[in-house]
Structure 1
Amino acid sequence: MTDQRTPPPPQVWPTLRAHDARALIRFLVAAFGFVETVTYGEGDRVDHAQLDWPPGGGIMLGSTRDDSFALRPGTFGAYVVTDEPDELFARARAAGAEVVREPFDTDYGSRDFAVRDPEGNLWAFGTYRGAPG
């Protein structure tokens, strides 16, 4: 019997900073298919943005700032689950993502690829959903 429960809302939100957060948001929407849910800030500054991943989860990001809490731009990395890695790779490449690793099959049954966004962040995508809990 398959578990048909609805998953809870995300409780873990990866975060990142960007030199040009508005450009990064546009890139993440165009290249990967994130959905811009909310963005706060004036002019070029982004104080807070939430981008949702349509199959579930999402990220939060903002413009770089000088405080001890903020991450440095280009230091983020994530693995994102997708059912269509080859199609997403083609989309990311067409949008200008820097290819780190073209689509490949892993020895544990996943189909993966890796790219960098314009800020230098590493994005890996694949079909591996993690080990059952």
Structure 2
Amino acid sequence: MTETTAAHSTPTDPPPMVWPTLSARDARAIIDFLVAAFGFQEVVAYEDGGVIQHAELAWPEGGGVMLGAVRDDPEHIWKLPPGGFGAYVVTTRTDEIHERAVAAGAEIVRKPFDTDYGSRDFAARDPEGNLWSFGTYRGHPH
């Protein structure tokens, strides 16, 4: 198994405690798309025989996602359907990311708009159909 890595945090950043996870028909293509279109950062990708078994992508403003190629392995519990994933990603750069996504050919589901609760949002789909919503709403304080 081979590994690629890149720095993504500082020693003071708390590590993510929840990792949204998705499966992909072509994990390398989705990783490259998420980096180019939205600005995720590839942290690690473990390959076996040219197939990405596990990858982690960091979101520069905190958190990240994990993904891997769909596998026909009875021991593999992550049998999620490709294209069935959705995530809301918090950012202070909604319009900038929207422009980047358009330039990278993302399918824009909803152009940037202001919500009645003060968030600036937009939504797009990646090439496998996963829904990515970006906005300034950080969730209700708890």
Q: Same fold (TM over 0.5)?
A: yes
- Which residue matches 2:98? 89
Which of the residues 63, 68, 73 maps onto 1:62?
68
Q: Which moved more, 1:63-72 or 1:19-28?
A: 63-72
Please list every run of at least 4 consecutive aligned residues from structure 1 whose deviation after the TM superposition is greater than 6 angstroms: none
- Which residue matches 2:136? 127
Provide the secondary structure at the position in 1 that maps to 2:52: coil
Q: What CA RMSD, in Å, does the superposition of the two structures yield over aligned residues? A: 1.3
**For 1:17 and 1:29, how far apart are their aligned partners in 2?**
16
Correspondence 1:40 to 2:70: no
Provide the secondary structure at the position in 2 that maps to 1:91: helix
Quote how far apart the aligned CAs of 1:43 are.
4.6
- Which residue matches 2:121? 112
Q: Is the 8 A contact 1:100 1:116 kept in 2?
A: yes
Quote how far apart the aligned CAs of 1:44 are.
3.9
Q: Which moved more, 1:34-43 or 1:88-97?
A: 34-43
Correspondence 1:53 to 2:79: no
Correspondence 1:24 to 2:30: yes
Query: Residue type of the partner of 1:29?
Result: V
Q: Which has the higher strand share?
A: 2
How big is each residue's C-alpha offset from its partner over 1:31-76, in whole Å with a ceiling of 9 and x where there is no partner?
1111100000135411000000011100000001134531010000
Quote how far apart the aligned CAs of 1:84 are.
1.0
**For 1:70 and 1:78, how far apart are their aligned partners in 2?**
18
Q: Which moved more, 1:102-111 or 1:65-74?
A: 65-74
How big is each residue's C-alpha offset from its partner over 1:76-113, in whole Å with a ceiling of 9 and x where there is no partner?
00000110101100000110110100000000000000
Provide the secondary structure at the position in 1 that maps to 2:60: coil
* Unmatched segments (≥5 aa) in structure 2: 1-11
* Unmatched segments (≥5 aa) in structure 1: 1-5
Q: Is the 8 A contact 1:18 1:119 kept in 2?
A: yes
Q: Is the 8 A contact 1:102 1:113 kept in 2?
A: yes
